[in-house]
């Protein structure tokens, strides 16, 4: 059957669309993908473990297939089960969501070998960005500013000392196979360098089976600012501005906003255009995020994520671009629906991640939701698979839902967020809601004056009451 995406219809460009999309994920992102498929008129297949039989994504999909027992390794990460699910349902495309198999280049290749489209980047780009040394080398070659450091892996203490003499201390030792903060060690002086190297190496070997490490100048109090990109794999790419994701605890983001309170239009346009041009040169296809540290007015590339991210709605709210729908369109071979000149930024958006966790200890709090009342009204979006009576299983991440709020200005957005947080009712489990109610009243948050260590320092002061 011939289906036409609304954008293509409007431009008179009929494109052949997928017959059926299998969503290889769970929770709110499975729902998010399902919504995009419905708006494109594409039938959907949900997959689920035995623990997720009653999940909302299963109820809302056209068809569902049980792919295994609760542990993710036997279900959501089980490639043979997923292939079988595609086969029995005649799905011709798979959307991986985030996490699970979303950045597994081998999975993307296996699907291609079975004539099933992986809705995401080309395997070569997933693999390239998965190797942090190669990713950084590529970024540098494409004119993206990087953190000063070693050019590739360091092979000896002597080599590390020579680099330290050039760039000075503090230094950070990072694992080439790392990312997301795993396998990093700080060396504050020459005396600490051999131990930092040895510890990072052995941790990297244990965690990733690869002990190669590289060195970077350690930035003390940067912000974490990431640029959203979208490419069609045919030389067209745009940037959709930034998200400031500095508010995190143990590398888990909790509160994200766009635009960043730290950037002006000129700074955004400059880094955004550099990144978009790099993606054009790579022929990058699909949505992607280029992560930077930002300190004293300068951007430093750290890594690139080749998936749709949890916090993508913040960008959708200020650009009016449906990122998941665009991922599907370009995976089907369509051209990007917009040029950089078409991308306009409107107002301000903030996302809060509602996790089933104790707001002080952050211990997981799975169990039955006894009462669920999401907020509504102007500028409010809730992406969640929660419902009254739903039992959050203990096997997966603790994300219950995301509250995303939009306003014409940051002030309106914050006032709206405060009001939405006050409307939200979730009973039966503990959640991070009290943390957000405290945050929106905090002067540093109201002023936008924070960095990547701010939240952990705030929590250490005992600022949140459960
Ligand atoms: C850094 C850094 C300071 N200096 N690199 C942590 C996750 C990984 N993707 C990169 N990370 C960092 N790299 C240099 N040269 C500080 C961090 C970091 C961090 C970065 C982003 C968001 C939260 C963070 C929390 C602690 C450390």
- Alpha-carbon span 104 to 114, nearest angstrom: 16
Length reported for the chain: 466
Give the CA-trace dihedral at 279, 284, 287, 291, to 10 degrees. -40
Q: Give pLDDT, residue 11.
A: 52
Q: What residues contact 177, with CB distance under 8 A and at least 6 apart?
A: 130, 131, 132, 183, 204, 207, 208, 209, 210, 212
Across the chain, mean pLDDT equals: 95
Residue appearing with tokens 């809705």: 119
435 has a pLDDT exceeding 70:
yes
Buried/exposed code over 328-338 (b: 16+ C-beta within 10 A; e: otherwise): bbbbbebbbbb
Q: Which atom of ligand 1 is nearest to the CA of 248?
A: 23
Q: Give pLDDT, residue 10.
A: 53
| Residue 452 CB–ligand 1 contact under 6 Å | yes
What confidence tens digit (pLDDT) does each residue in 97-138 have? Answer: 999 999 999 999 999 999 999 999 999 999 999 999 999 999
Q: Which helix (H) or strand (E) holds 312?
A: helix 312-319
Look at residues 133, 267, 264, 99 and name the one whose alpha carbon lies nearest to residue 204: 133
Q: What residues contact 90, with CB distance under 8 A and at least 6 apart?
A: 19, 20
13 has a pLDDT exceeding 50:
no
Domains of the chain: 3-119 (3.40.50.20), 148-217 (3.30.1490.20), 223-460 (3.30.470.20)
| Residue 103 CB–ligand 1 contact under 6 Å | no
Residue appearing with tokens 């669920």: 372
Q: Which atom of ligand 1 is nearest to the CA of 149?
A: 15
User: Rounded to the nearest whole angstrom, what is the distance from the C-alpha of residue 45 to the centroid of ligand 1?
Assistant: 37
| Residue 187 CB–ligand 1 contact under 6 Å | no
Q: pLDDT grade, residue 1 (50/70/90)?
A: very low
The residue whose C-alpha atom lies closest to atom 27 belonging to ligand 1 is: 181
Q: pLDDT grade, residue 176 (50/70/90)?
A: confident
pLDDT > 70 fraction of the chain, expressed in percent and rounded:
97
Interval 277-291 mean pLDDT = 98
165 has a pLDDT exceeding 50:
yes
180 has a pLDDT exceeding 70:
no
What confidence tens digit (pLDDT) does each residue in 331-378 have? Answer: 999 999 999 999 999 999 999 999 999 999 999 999 999 999 999 999
Interval 45-74 mean pLDDT = 98
Q: pLDDT grade, residue 410 (50/70/90)?
A: very high
303 has a pLDDT exceeding 80:
yes
The two beta strands, 223-232 and 63-68, are: unpaired
| Residue 58 CB–ligand 1 contact under 6 Å | no
22 has a pLDDT exceeding 80:
yes
Interval 231-245 mean pLDDT = 98
User: Rounded to the nearest whole angstrom, what is the distance from the C-alpha of residue 446 to the centroid of ligand 1?
Assistant: 24
User: Rounded to the nearest whole angstrom, what is the distance from the C-alpha of residue 353 to the centroid of ligand 1?
Assistant: 20
Q: pLDDT grade, residue 3 (50/70/90)?
A: low
2 has a pLDDT exceeding 50:
no
| Residue 147 CB–ligand 1 contact under 6 Å | yes
280 has a pLDDT exceeding 90:
yes
Please give the distance of CA 125 from its chain centroid, rounded to a whole number: 16
Task: Give 137: exposed, middle or buried? Use CB within 10 Å, 0-12, 13-18, 19+.
Answer: middle
List the beta bridge partners of residue 174.
184, 214
Q: Where in the sequence numbering do the catalytic residues fall?
A: 307
Interval 405-431 mean pLDDT = 98
Task: Quickly count: other Cβ atoms within 10 Å of residue 407's Cβ.
Answer: 19
- Alpha-carbon span 236 to 285, nearest angstrom: 9
- Report the residue among 136, 172, 255 best suited for mutation to probe ligand 1: largest number of ligand atoms under 8 A from its CB: 172
Structure tokens at 151: 């050019």
Q: Give pLDDT, residue 8.
A: 64
User: Rounded to the nearest whole angstrom, what is the distance from the C-alpha of residue 181 to the centroid of ligand 1?
Assistant: 6
- Alpha-carbon span 426 to 442, nearest angstrom: 23
């Amino acid at each position: 059957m011939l289906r036409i995406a609304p954008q293509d219809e409007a431009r008179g460009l009929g494109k052949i669309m997928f017959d059926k999309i299998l969503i290889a994920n769970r929770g709110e992102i499975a729902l998010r993908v399902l919504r995009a498929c419905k708006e494109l008129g594409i039938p959907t297949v949900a997959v689920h473990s035995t623990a997720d039989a009653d999940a909302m994504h299963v109820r809302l999909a056209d068809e569902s297939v049980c792919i295994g027992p609760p542990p993710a390794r036997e279900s959501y990460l089980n490639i043979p089960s997923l292939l079988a699910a595609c086969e029995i349902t005649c799905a011709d495309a798979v959307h991986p969501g985030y996490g699970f198999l979303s950045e597994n280049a081998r999975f993307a290749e296996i699907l291609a070998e079975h004539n099933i489209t992986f809705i995401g980047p080309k395997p070569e780009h997933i693999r390239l960005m998965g190797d942090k040394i190669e990713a950084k080398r590529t970024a540098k070659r494409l004119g993206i500013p990087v953190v000063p450091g070693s050019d590739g892996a360091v092979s000896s203490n002597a080599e590390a000392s020579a680099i330290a003499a050039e760039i000075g201390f503090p230094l950070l030792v990072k694992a080439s196979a790392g990312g997301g903060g795993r396998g990093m060690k700080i060396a504050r002086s020459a005396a600490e360098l051999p131990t930092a190297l040895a510890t990072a190496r052995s941790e990297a070997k244990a965690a990733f089976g690869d002990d190669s490490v590289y060195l970077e100048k350690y930035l003390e109090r940067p912000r974490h600012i990431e640029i959203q990109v979208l490419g069609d794999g045919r030389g067209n790419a745009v940037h959709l501005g930034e998200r400031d994701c500095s508010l995190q605890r143990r590398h888990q983001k909790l509160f994200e906003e766009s635009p960043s309170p730290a950037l002006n239009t000129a700074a955004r346009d400059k880094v955004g255009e550099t990144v978009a041009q790099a993606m054009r040169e790579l022929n990058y296809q699909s949505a992607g995020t280029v992560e930077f540290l930002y300190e004293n007015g300068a951007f430093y590339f750290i890594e690139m994520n080749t998936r749709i991210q949890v916090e993508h709605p913040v960008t959708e709210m200020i650009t009016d671009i449906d990122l998941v729908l665009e991922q599907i369109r370009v995976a089907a071979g369509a051209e990007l629906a917009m040029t950089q000149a078409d991308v306009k930024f409107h107002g301000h958006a903030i996302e809060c991640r509602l996790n089933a966790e104790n707001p002080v200890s952050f211990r997981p709090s799975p169990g039955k939701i006894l009462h669920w009342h999401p907020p509504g009204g102007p500028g409010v979006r809730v992406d969640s698979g929660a419902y009254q009576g739903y039992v959050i299983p203990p096997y997966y991440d603790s994300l219950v839902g995301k509250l995303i709020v939009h306003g014409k200005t940051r002030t309106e957005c914050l006032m709206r967020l405060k009001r939405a947080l006050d409307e939200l009712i979730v009973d039966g489990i503990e959640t991070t809601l009290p943390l957000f109610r405290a945050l929106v009243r905090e002067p540093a948050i109201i002023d936008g004056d924070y960095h990547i260590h701010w939240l952990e320092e705030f929590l250490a002061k005992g600022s949140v009451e459960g």
